[in-house]
Structure 1
Amino acid sequence: MLDTALRYTMLTRDMDKTIERTSKDPIVDRETQYYQENIRSIKSIDDFMDNDRIYRYAMKAMGLEDMIYAKGLVRDVLEQGITDPTSYANRLQDKRYKELATAFNFETYGSTATSFDRAQQDVVDAYVLQTLELNEGQDNEGVRLALYFKRKAPELTNTYEILADQALYAVVRTAIGMPEAMVGGDVDAQAKYIESRLDLEILKDPEELDKFLTKFTNLYDVQNNISIAPTLSLFQNNGSGVNPDVLLKVNSLKFGG
């Protein structure tokens, strides 16, 4: 197995080629063709929820594959949309739900919601990236974490978004050397600690983001025995990191830090 830093560098040196290779995987290509051929026929939330292949494709693209079962929540998110500041999508600190409601904005556009690029090519692009990250995570969780962080970090606006996302949280914890004693503790104390050691604005600079991820990948290899099977639970509800009660508090009560 290649070390985390080397594998990450190989993948990101020419991301266009890496993404192209992933898109040509037979399974990815088959599901993408089905999505592209059928998404325009989805005219309502009912259509979206009832077409299992479309629904699963979209949920995976939004990084919500582990929430496919939660159709009641997903329906509420889509029905309430993004116009009302108090809607589910706008209240939840987890931005994935707002991304879903934005891509499939039936609340605003009704039957024409899937006619826009954000419900078509943008979803396809996101699906391919999600698949790349998942595939890499099968061999090395550190590579998956780095790829995910590279994709999401420029969008971060406050540290509570990091605390609400176990994968982002794992990268930051490693890179800044957060003491284990703080993990799972007071949310505000953790936020202040992160803010004292990481300026989120620098992550919007590609060069600074690369430096940060170089630090992470090197520290990850030092701190982890990468020959052990990767721990995919960082991206699932039962993962380690911030305890579930803390995540619930962040997702439900924080509106921007």
Structure 2
Amino acid sequence: MSFRPALPLTGWAGWKFLERTRAAQQSAFDRSPGIQRETAYFEARIATVGSAAELVADPRLLRVALGAFGLDGDLPNRYFIRKVLEEGTLKPGALANRLADARYRDMARAFGFGDSDPPNTGLPGFGARIARQYRARQFEIAVGRQDEALRLALSADRELAEIARASTTDDGRWFLVMGRPPLRKVVETALGLPAGIGALDLDRQLADFRRAAQERLGDGEVATLADGSRRETLIRLFLARSAAQRTGLPAATPATAAAGVALSLLQMTAPARR
């Protein structure tokens, strides 16, 4: 895929530039020949796929299916993916329900091979929906080839909005955040949580996430954090702390991060001294 996103800035300034240009850049990315070939192939054939075995037997279909859920690295693991899909999500002991990474459960539920007969692959609009998810995530990957922090910010911006709409409890939303590795990394970093928090039991992790969110963002519930202003603060904190981790400098607060962006922009636009 030859499309290269335009990212002239990093950090918060880079994020604001990406926000302003995202729709146009995503549209250009979607029109790139590689993306068009892959998604057209998927949409044309997925309705004829009636089993997980058929899906994993076709590398091109599987590439889009996995990519739509951020699982691109599992393309060689066909037996494992087949088991995840075939066992579905309805039984508590199903493989997808036993995995810490909730993206496998999302994929198994979306395709429905183990949950319904016939599966969801033949439903109207199914192919177009998965292709749309694939394009969005592949654009994020393209951004990440230049700036991994901006890629994670894009992913978090999308996923927080999705989780806020999920039909679950407040605790359930936090478990969804904790079960998606890219989103979890953003939230952990933004809230200043220690790297070893994942070794604690789930109830303790939940309490620590909620307490840190309340202290740093003024609310401890995911549905509120997904609101525009708090989500923006979360992303700004993440980008500031990510930059601090790379440089070894103290992490900026939202106020100092904003001041740093303003100073950078002033320096960029100031006339050069002769």
Shift, 1:112, TM fit: 5.4
What's the counterpart of residue 176 of structure 1?
Answer: 191
- Assess, with a 3 A threshold, how the Cα gap between structure 1 residues 83 and 186 changes in structure 2: closer, same or farther: closer
What's the counterpart of residue 36 of structure 1?
Answer: 43
The alignment status of 1:218 with 2:240, answered yes or no, reads yes
What's the counterpart of residue 61 of structure 1?
Answer: 68
Ranges in structure 2 where 5+ consecutive residues have no aligned partner? 1-7, 165-171, 214-219, 248-274
TM-score by length of 2: 0.72
Shift, 1:7, TM fit: 2.2
- Aligned Cα root-mean-square deviation (Å): 2.6
Moved more, 62-71 or 153-162: 153-162
What's the counterpart of residue 13 of structure 2?
Answer: 6
TM-score by length of 1: 0.76
Equivalent pairs counted in the alignment come to 225
Shift, 1:179, TM fit: 4.2
- Assess, with a 3 A threshold, how the Cα gap between structure 1 residues 45 and 165 changes in structure 2: closer, same or farther: closer
Q: Secondary structure at the match of 1:32?
A: helix
What is the alpha-carbon distance in structure 1 between the residues aligned to residue 175 and residue 50 of structure 2?
Answer: 35
What is the alpha-carbon distance in structure 2 between the residues aligned to residue 185 and residue 106 of structure 1?
Answer: 33
Superposition pairs of residues 159-174 of structure 1, within 5 angstroms: 159-174=174-189
What is the alpha-carbon distance in structure 2 between the residues aligned to residue 51 and residue 131 of structure 1?
Answer: 19
What's the counterpart of residue 82 of structure 2?
Answer: 75
What is the alpha-carbon distance in structure 1 between the residues aligned to residue 110 and residue 127 of structure 2?
Answer: 9
What is the alpha-carbon distance in structure 1 between the residues aligned to residue 185 and residue 132 of structure 2?
Answer: 25
Q: Secondary structure at the match of 1:211?
A: helix
Ranges in structure 1 where 5+ consecutive residues have no aligned partner? 226-257
Superposition pairs of residues 82-231 of structure 1, within 5 angstroms: 82-111=89-118, 113-117=120-124, 119-154=126-161, 155=163, 157-179=172-194, 182=196, 185-188=199-202, 189-198=204-213, 199=220, 200-225=222-247
Shift, 1:127, TM fit: 0.5
What is the alpha-carbon distance in structure 1 between the residues aligned to residue 125 and residue 106 of structure 2?
Answer: 10
Shift, 1:211, TM fit: 2.2
What is the alpha-carbon distance in structure 2 between the residues aligned to residue 108 and residue 36 of structure 1?
Answer: 22
What is the alpha-carbon distance in structure 2 between the residues aligned to residue 83 and residue 185 of structure 1?
Answer: 27
Q: Which structure's CA Rg is the greater one? A: 2
Does the CA-based 8 Å contact 1:57-1:127 persist in structure 2? Answer: yes
**CA-to-partner distance for each residue in 1:131-173, whole Å, 9 max, x for gaps?**
1111111111110110111122241735454444442232123
**CA-to-partner distance for each residue in 1:59-98, whole Å, 9 max, x for gaps?**
1111111122222222222222233343223343422112
What is the alpha-carbon distance in structure 2 between the residues aligned to residue 186 and residue 9 of structure 1?
Answer: 35
What's the counterpart of residue 52 of structure 1?
Answer: 59
**CA-to-partner distance for each residue in 1:183-203, whole Å, 9 max, x for gaps?**
565345544332211122322
Identity of aligned residues (%): 25
Does the CA-based 8 Å contact 2:187-2:234 persist in structure 1? Answer: no
Does the CA-based 8 Å contact 1:23-1:128 persist in structure 2? Answer: yes
